[in-house]
Structure 1
Amino acid sequence: MPTEAYNLVMPEKLSSCAVFASPHSGRDYPAAFLDRSVLNYKTIRSSEDAFVDQLFDSAPRHGAPFLTAAMPRAYLDLNRNADELDPALIQGARRQGHNPRVASGLGVIPRVVANGRVIYNGKITMDEARLRIDNYWRPYHACLKSLLSEAHQKFGQAILIDCHSMPHEAVAISGTGQSKRPEIVLGDRFGASASGAIVDQIESAFASAGLNVARNTPFAGAYVTQTYGRPGRHQHAIQVEIDRSLYMDEERIEPNQNFHAFRTLMDLVISEIASIGSEPARLAAE
């Protein structure tokens, strides 16, 4: 059911306890927003998880919902708390202790895009910030919460796959200590947002597809995993970061020649993840 805030594709039959969601692949850039920005269109897209929505769009065919944001991350960051307001950008916002994300310009209404490039010349009003949060942030998170609740109710557990991409340079200089550079980074907040057994199975799904996987370095998860990961309540949240160079030309923000092959590979991974835990829970429920 498409809305202005998000797009949700449900499977014909809900057969998986997994919920796939992509909060940063939105690319509906409002004309008024682009007009106010000092950046060109390509630069403002540098924070976008471009094409991640296409990489994971087979999830409903494997019995799992797929939720994607409509609005871009440069406009509103759904992987931040609604109260992470940046006083350097938003008129009337108060500083609430030291928040490194806000301080660096990456609050819920970002002040910068990748590499610290400033989006605006000046500030925006508090009313405008609240309007973005009310119109886009709250509906997205209300939908996500509902999907996880439905999965938990039906299967006895819920597994949120928080889908992202990362610049190739992020893993090139990450210093993970691995002999091979990670192509996938799974973030479970060092075990706080998901059980080790669940993360093991997700890692196995990617590793079986021939991908090199690391955990929590350089990305351990942010607001989404912190908020929705409750392993003690059988609700798990795992952030998945994919090296963009595997499927896109980062400079041009275009699919590369490997895109279709990698998308096919991802379908196999998604199928395996969607099967985690669902069958035994469903039989127990019946």
Structure 2
Amino acid sequence: MTNGFELHQGTLPLLVSMPHPGTQLTPAIAAALTPRALRLEDTDWHIPRLYQPIRALGASVLSANYSRYVVDLNRPADDKPLYSTATTGLFPATFFDGEPLFNAGQEPDEAMKAAILQQLWQPYHQALMQELTRLRDTFGYALLWDAHSIKSVVPRLFDGKLPDLNFGTADGASCAPDLSAALLARCEAFPHYTRVLNGRFKGGYITRHYGDPQQHIHAVQLEVAQCCYMDEEQFTWSEEKSERFRELLIALINTALEWGERHLRR
């Protein structure tokens, strides 16, 4: 397997984690996927491009190269479910809508899963922890922003249309409550976009595992409805939508950084 991620080390106390924008497949997985699955429709499309202005501000960025159909980096290594409702696991076997990803009888075996866990999952999480530690040692604290997107309508996962902005803080455990309050307050200047805190998406493994306010690491997951910045059916980038949405995204990141400067700077 080639390198499973790209890490850019920035100059701010902020790490943006992107576990699901990857589109690479291992040869064995590629040969076993159904024709529909080869379109990789459940990818967090264009997230590195969407967050490019945040990287330019000085954020560290950790971005996965491999598809979530190979391994879901936002699930625990023991694959314990994160939600009681419908979801997908560490080694997804179905689309978000429940249809099979793999041709019958061609799902990854245990040996393949163990190799993927060792070669892709573990290095990503090692890099994530090392970068958070570097930032905390440098600044006295670290902010972790877990960046995701999803189609705005997925009936198996949630009813109706998803809010545009879905903030997750593990029901308040992964960051200080006044940080999430500040982010929601900042959204009020952008009434075109709907938002919710700890709704259907409360934060996955990364947010829940690494967010540790007592150790000066504050984590927030943002799940963005893809209609905000792209064509959800064709998976194509929209310059008009993304330009408008980036104004809000930059405002949110600056709000988090300003909060950290006021409350956590040593």
RMSD between aligned alpha carbons? 2.8
Q: TM-score, normalised by structure 1?
A: 0.80
Q: Specify the alignment match of 1:254 in structure 2.
A: 236
Q: Specify the alignment match of 2:3 in structure 1.
A: 4
Q: Specify the alignment match of 1:40 in structure 2.
A: 36
Change in Cα spacing, 1:230 to 1:56, as seen in structure 2 (3 Å) is: same
**Distance across 2 between alignment mates of 1:40 and 1:175:** 24
Whether contact under 8 Å (2:167, 2:201) holds in the other structure is yes
| Bigger mean CA offset, 270-279 vs 31-40 | 270-279
1:200 CA drift (Å)? 1.8
Q: Specify the alignment match of 2:149 in structure 1.
A: 165
**Partner AA of 1:67 in structure 2:** L
**1:277 equivalent in alignment to 2:260:** yes
Q: Specify the alignment match of 2:72 in structure 1.
A: 77
Change in Cα spacing, 1:36 to 1:254, as seen in structure 2 (3 Å) is: same
Whether contact under 8 Å (1:59, 1:274) holds in the other structure is no
- Unpaired runs of at least 5, structure 1: 85-97
**Distance across 2 between alignment mates of 1:267 and 1:215:** 19
SS at the partner of 1:139? helix
**Distance across 2 between alignment mates of 1:203 and 1:100:** 24
Q: TM-score, normalised by structure 2?
A: 0.86
**Distance across 2 between alignment mates of 1:30 and 1:137:** 14
Q: Specify the alignment match of 1:143 in structure 2.
A: 127
1:76 CA drift (Å)? 0.6
Whether contact under 8 Å (2:88, 2:96) holds in the other structure is no
Q: Specify the alignment match of 1:89 in structure 2.
A: none
Post-superposition Cα deviations, 1:76-100, rounded to whole Å, max 9, x if no partner, equal 100111121xxxxxxxxxxxxx847
Whether contact under 8 Å (2:96, 2:154) holds in the other structure is no
Q: Specify the alignment match of 1:95 in structure 2.
A: none
1:237 CA drift (Å)? 1.2
Change in Cα spacing, 1:273 to 1:55, as seen in structure 2 (3 Å) is: farther
**Partner AA of 1:78 in structure 2:** L
Q: How many correspondences in the alignment? A: 260
**1:17 equivalent in alignment to 2:13:** yes
**Partner AA of 2:9 in structure 1:** M
Whether contact under 8 Å (2:14, 2:144) holds in the other structure is yes
1:155 CA drift (Å)? 1.9
Q: Specify the alignment match of 2:220 in structure 1.
A: 238
Q: Specify the alignment match of 1:58 in structure 2.
A: 53
Whether contact under 8 Å (1:62, 1:274) holds in the other structure is no
Whether contact under 8 Å (1:174, 1:217) holds in the other structure is no
**Distance across 1 between alignment mates of 2:87 and 2:152:** 22
SS at the partner of 2:153? helix
Post-superposition Cα deviations, 1:171-223, rounded to whole Å, max 9, x if no partner, equal 9x9579xxx97310100111111110111223334443443321011111121
**Partner AA of 1:59 in structure 2:** I
Q: Specify the alignment match of 1:202 in structure 2.
A: 183
**Distance across 1 between alignment mates of 2:118 and 2:186:** 37
Whether contact under 8 Å (1:62, 1:270) holds in the other structure is no
**Distance across 1 between alignment mates of 2:85 and 2:151:** 21
| Bigger mean CA offset, 210-219 vs 143-152 | 210-219
- Unpaired runs of at least 5, structure 2: none
**Distance across 2 between alignment mates of 1:103 and 1:269:** 29
**1:223 equivalent in alignment to 2:202:** no
**Partner AA of 2:228 in structure 1:** L
Whether contact under 8 Å (1:25, 1:51) holds in the other structure is yes
Whether contact under 8 Å (1:184, 1:243) holds in the other structure is yes
| Bigger mean CA offset, 217-226 vs 257-266 | 257-266
**Distance across 2 between alignment mates of 1:280 and 1:99:** 34
What does residue range 82-97 of structure 1 map to in structure 2 within 5 Å? 82-84=77-79
